[in-house]
Structures are given as C-alpha cells and as structure tokens.
Chain A
Amino acid sequence: MTDLPTSPLPALLVGLPILMATLSLFFRTRGKALVGLVGCLLTAGLSFIAFAEVTRRGTLIHILGGWDPPLGILLRMDPLAAVFIGMTAAVGAFISLYAWWYFRAQESTGGAFPLFWPLWLFLWAGLNGLFLSNDLFNLFVTIEVIGISAVALAVLSGKVAALFAGLRYLLAAIAGSMAYLFGVALLYGSTGTLDIGLLGQALEPGPATTFALLVITLGLMIKTASFPFHFWLPPAHSSALAPVSALLSALVVKGTFYILLRLWTEVFGVSLTFAAGQLIGLAGAAAVIWGSWQAFMQTNLKLVVAHSSVAQLGYLLMIFPLLVLAPGVTAGSADWLSSAWTAGVYQVMAHAFAKSSFFLSAGIIIMALGHDRIESLRDLATRMPMTVMAMGLAGVSLIGLPPSGGFMAKWMLLKGIFLSGQWWWAPAVLAGSMLAAGYVFRILRLAFAPAAEKQTWRPVPVALQLVALLLALASFLIVFPADYLVQFLESSKIFGSGVETIVEGGGDGNY
C-alpha cells in the first residue's frame, strides 16, 4: 500500500464540503443558498481535478493522521472510486444548479428550504468519504452520515406523507447499518484489523466469516433497497422535493451498493459460494420484474419513477452471481468478469443520470401543474417540449435501447451472463426492458396526446428544463468513452486481484 503515491486530494474531497456546510450555517436564507451553491461547485471542481489526477498517476492514497493501517485509517482513490466520485460530481453539480433555481422560484411562497444546502453538502462529504474509505468501521460512520442527511433531506418539505416515509426510511437505515456493524465486529474479532486490504489477506473461511458475510450483505441490501427490502424506497423517494428525489435515487442508494461490490470482491473472496451469488441474483431478478410491474401500475408520475428505481437497482444485484462461477464450471471466455464489472459501473452511471433527469422533470411538471397525476400529462409536448424530450431520452436509457448508457449496461450484463454460462438470468433482463418500455411509453403517449380539458400551466424557469435535458443527454454521452473507461477500471490493481480470489472461492465449492 505504501508504494502508492500519496496525495492530499482524498482528504480535501471530504473536508471541503463539510467546511462549506459549516460555513453556510452562519448565513440566513439567501446567503445559505449562495454559500451552499459555491460549496457544491467547488466540490465538483475538486472532484474532477482528483479524477484527472488518478488517470495521470494511478491510485492515490492518503494515510490519515500519519498512522498506517491497521492502527490508522487509509483513504484510497483507485480508478473505481474515481469513477464513482466523478459521477457524483457530475450529477451533483447539475442537481445543485437545478436546486438553486428551484428554491429561488418558490422563495416567495415559503419554499426556499435553506437547510437543503448544508445537508446536501454533508451528504456529498459522506458519499466521497464512503467511496474513498478503506476501513470497515469508517465505512459505518460514512453510511451513518449519508443516512441521517438523506432522511433529513427526504422530510424537508414537512408534509405528513414525507414524514411517515422518512421515519420508515430512517428505521430501515438504522437496522441496516446495525446489521452491517455486527458483521464488522466479527471480522475485527477474527482478524484484528479493519483495513479492507489487510482483511482480504488475513481472512480465513469459517462460521464467523460466513456469518459476517450474511449480516453485512443483508444490512447493505436493506440500505440499497434491494428486493425484498425495497419497501421504504418508493414512498420516501416519491414524497421528497424534486432535487432531493433526484439525489436520493441517483446517488444515495449507490453508496451501499459500492461497499457491497468492494467487500464481495476484495474481502469475502474466500468464503463466497455459488449459492450465495445465486440468491442475490434471484433477489435482483425479482426486483427487476416486481419493480417494473409496480411502476407500470402507478397513476402518479413520481411513484412510477420511484418504483422504476427498485427495478433498476435489481440489475445491479444481478452482477453478483456472475462474480462466482458454479463449482467445476469454467467460463467460456476470460472476458466474462470484465463484462460483469462494466455492466455494473455502466448501470450505476446510466441510472444516476437518467433517473435524476426523470425526477427533475417530474419536479418541473409539479411546479407547472401543482400535481403529478399521469392523466393530466396530456398536451405536455406542446407546452414543454424540452421536458418531454428529457423524459423521452431518460426513458430510452431506462429501457436500455441503443445508443444509451442503459443499453450499454444491459448489453454488457447479457454478455457477462452468457459468457459465464448462467443463461437463466437473461429472461429477467429482457422482461425488465419490456416492462420498462411499457411504463415509459405510457407516459410519453399521454404527453403527445391532445388536451382533453383546460388546465392552467404555471410558468417554469427555462433553466430548470435545461438542466433536466442536459442530464438526460449525459446518460447517452457516457457511452462514448466506454473503451477508455473499461481500460481505466482494469488498470486498478484490485480489479485484477479480485478475479483470482473470486475464481478460487467459487472453484473450491465450499458451499
């Protein structure tokens, strides 16, 4: 670890947003928003600089307090972390701009909600901290930072529905992080270290490791809203304010997925079994079908979008069975693993851009109409062509039609599925796309239909519509650097070493 280049950037990525959040507390409504926005833009800029630095110098580390692990905590910005931090910065910057105009437009009616800004900066610091952390207990602290700030943002509107949804979300989040922490206790007890790298070397298979794998996976699945623990997501995401819904669905649920991916590939390699992978895959497939079907049945736009998140997160779980091959089975081609990884990373990015765009569009419609019932979307195409275009593009990416980022993700997922010989996951992927086409076109068909009754359309700032459209476009633009991005991810040391341990773990057939 110590041979990697040290850099102050990882520490700044956590410190800067918290500094700006603290600073913003000294100001009142307008000032808070201004300091908050400046803080967001600075953090985004710093993230891009750090991303560029990683592409130039490779993995960067920062040894906090100068104490090497296992005593101290190590921040590590490897290519995978860099991609997630870059994505957070891009989505975060767009949503911050949207939020600025969104709250400005509603300032006169008491809708300024200045506490959005410090909470969002805390959330951002938590996310950056999570992506950078290399320490199991520190990961617990970052998921708590994320959990509390995310729930506080979700209940920002103060409406009764949001409060109920927020309390449910909070209780689920606490239970999830306690389950995670229980696993951490056992891992620490059996190895005496919390550092991910050292744990990967020291961990031996046994009942304690298996139990830790079980509770950590369950705890993180609760926080990622994986089927069957998805119950808290649709009410919480649909009842929040538009910029918050976008943040929650695009970024927050991805944090715990990232830990799950890290731990499965870097720590639990020795005790993974074929059956464990298949079970997670099954939960993912069920989420894809159930979530898409539920999305199809909803009558309110935000509920459609929220249920669609359940389905889209299901695809993420479907890469876990691909990491562990059945005992005695060898993959048809060595490419299967990199396909699975690419599918996961692309699904995260495509969903982040498309879903945030969709939620921001829903916010625009609510601002114009005062509600989001789907039947009232008639005539939307002539009133707000930009918003319809944003929803159309984002929808295409959610369905997975070429040439969107969503297509890239699903294509890579299918490739991984067939190369690893686990063809039985393919129908779920296809059915999910079909159902997604159903709920997306149901919305678009109405948007292009002529108006049935007279509705009042309040004016909405063009800037808001522009941000939503740009985010939808971004879910297509991410396809272009695909080759480069795959290469970049493969240059990560962990990416290579993960493969070995996984194949060994699966090959042992210790289930």
Chain B
Amino acid sequence: MSVLIDIVLAILAVYLALQSLMAPRLSQSVFLFFAFGLALALTWIRLGAVDVGIAEAAIAAGFLGVLLIDALRDFSPAVSEKQEGADGTSADRSTKDTKSRLLPSLALGLGLGLFLLIAVEAIWHTPKGGGLTALSEAMLAESGVEHPVTAVLLNYRGYDTWLEIGVILMGLLAIFVAGGVEVYRKPRVLVRDPLLRQVILFFTPVLFLFGAFLLYYGKSGPGGAFQAAVLWGATGILLHLGGWPVFAVIPRWLRQLLLTLGLGFFLLLGFAFMAGGAALFEYPPAQAGVLILIVEALAALSIATALAAIFAYFNQMKDEPNEIESTT
C-alpha cells in the first residue's frame, strides 16, 4: 500500500515536469513547475528528508516560483513556437523548419533514450555503499547540535555552507550586473488597500518570530538558517510590496553590512580559531552549539536580505526599462 503512494508520487513528479515543459502557454508552464516543486517537496518528506522538503518548498518552489511568476509580466503569454511562425515570414518556412528539425530531434530522442537506459541500469545496480549515517551519528555528541543535518551543514561540512552563502551574495551581484543597475528605488505602492497594509504590518512580527523559532529549532529538529532566511526574506518582500521599501530607506553601509554579515562573520570566526591553532571552521565541542547558533542567525539575516533584495530588484526591473545607472 505504501509502495503505491510512492509510485503515484513519482509518476506525478515526472508528469508535472513533462507538462511544465510542454504546456502551450508560458503561465501554465510556470505554474506546473511550481506544482512540480511541491510534488518534490512531498517526495522529500516521504523519503524522510524533512529539511530538504522545507527547503524545496520554500526556496526552489516558493522563491523561484515567485521570481518566475514576476517574470511572466515581461513575456507574451503564448510560447515562442507560435510566435516564431508569426515573425518568421510565412507558413512554408515553418513547414520547412519542421522537416529540417525532424532528423536532429529523432537523433536526440534516440540518444536520450539510450542514455536513460544506461542511467536506469546504473542506478539499479549501484552497490550499497552504506553512506555516512553511522559516522555522523557517532560524532553527533561532539558537533554541538542534536539534529544530524544541521551538524553536517554547519559543522562537518561547514566549509561548503560557507561557500554557498558566498554563492548567494555573488548571485545578487551577478543579478545587478545583468540588469546594469545597483540602486534601490522606492517601488510604487502596489498594495493600496489600507486594510491589507495593516495585515502586512501585523504579519511582519509573526513571520519574523516564526523564522527565529525555526532557526533555534534547527538545533534539534528540521529547520535552521536557510528555512529561517526564507521566512525573514518573505517578511522583507511583504514590507516592500506594502510600500515600505526597506532597502531604499536604510543607509548604504547598513545594507552592505546586512548582506555580508553572514559570510564575513563565519569566516572571521574561523580565522580567529585558526589563529589559536585550530583548523578553519573548527569549533571546540563545548562552545560549538552557541557558536553555530550565532553563525546561523547572522547567515540567515544575510540570506534573507539577499533574497528580499533580489525580489525587490526583479520587481523594479519592469518599471524602469532601458535605464542604465552607474553601478556604484
């Protein structure tokens, strides 16, 4: 019976993925992709990966979904296959097109089919390596936290997590470069309903506190910096939409400090212990719990700032077309 649930869930994920690529309208595509993310999140929970489920739902489906939906404003609703026929002079060109595309797509299909067979065969025959379950369990007492995933993320493999916080900051810089702007302008007030603004004001501390709870709870259960960051980021996004453009108001140095605090403090703490003879990101087991909590809190703050800044940036992209500001 439970196997049936797994089969249905797997087929659902595959079906949604296929449909989101084949949907004729772009908006359908985006919403099906959003649904695909939620199906994956359910899958993670079925597989006992609750942390991954929260991250998938919040970041991959939620945040990326919001960005994709926001991007829909830019594009014409029908996908390019039709638009191609419209601007590609005439219909006979498109029939010629399909003919010349037949052979490559046939080759692609055959190649991918073969690839799929090899992949399935390989996954089916993957020897049982045993993973690192036992080892991470054995070392948990020394890691300073009780939840194994948090121990991996912030202690055993803290270096990866540190680099990843760097990737988010870099992603923000890259997005500024792509748009050619690095100024936060006051957005137009999108939510004019005073009642709705009141609701946003009410939910801001609630979301913030819930994020703080997730952050603290990450020590012993599913939760932690990334999940808290998304909630805090959502707070920033809501305030932005409600007409409180946090980024345009605060001074520049504070903005940069918020963005870099997570990455910078993580590294400087590592350097401080390195000066004492330890390895980078090595914490004494007695203080590890507290230090990890501080690192996580600051990292969550920076990631939340970056996520909100990315959203605010995307949101103003449509409003200021063809404007290149000097990137200061």
Contact = CB atoms under 8 A, between A and B. Distances in A.
B327 A210 contact: no
Given A148-B167, A211-B118, A73 B129 contact: no
Contacts, number: 166
A190 interface: yes
B98 to A, nearest CB: 23
Interface residues on A, range: 35 or more
A66 B123 contact: no
Interface in A1-26: 6, 8, 11, 15, 18-19, 22, 25-26
Interface string B87-123: 0000000000000000000000000000000110111
B155 interface: yes
A496 interface: no
A486 B271 CA distance: 35
Interface string A73-93: 100000000000000000000
Nearest to A67: B156
A206 interface: yes
Contacts of A70: 132, 135
A403 interface: no
Contacts of B130: 192
Contact of B132 (A62, A71, A129): A71
B48 to A, nearest CB: 16
A149 B159 contact: no
B271 A110 contact: no
B267 interface: yes
* Interface size grouping (class) on chain B: 35 or more
A22 B170 CA distance: 10
Given A65-B156, A70-B135, A15 B271 contact: yes
Contacts of A67: 139, 155-156
B260 A190 contact: no
Nearest to B259: A25
B167 A25 contact: no
30 contacts: A8-B274, A11-B270, A15-B267, A18-B263, A28-B328, A29-B328, A62-B280, A65-B282, A65-B283, A66-B282, A70-B135, A71-B136, A73-B157, A113-B327, A115-B177, A138-B157, A148-B171, A149-B170, A152-B174, A156-B177, A158-B177, A186-B126, A190-B128, A192-B130, A192-B132, A202-B129, A208-B126, A211-B119, A211-B122, A212-B122
Interface of A: 6, 8, 11, 15, 18-19, 22, 25-26, 28-29, 62-67, 70-73, 110, 112-115, 118-119, 122, 125, 129, 137-138, 141-142, 144-145, 148-149, 151-152, 155-156, 158, 163, 166, 186, 188-193, 202, 204, 206-208, 210-212, 214
Interface of B: 118-119, 121-132, 135-136, 139, 155-160, 163-164, 166-167, 169-171, 173-174, 176-178, 180, 182, 253, 256-257, 259-260, 263-264, 267-268, 270-271, 274, 278-283, 324, 326-328
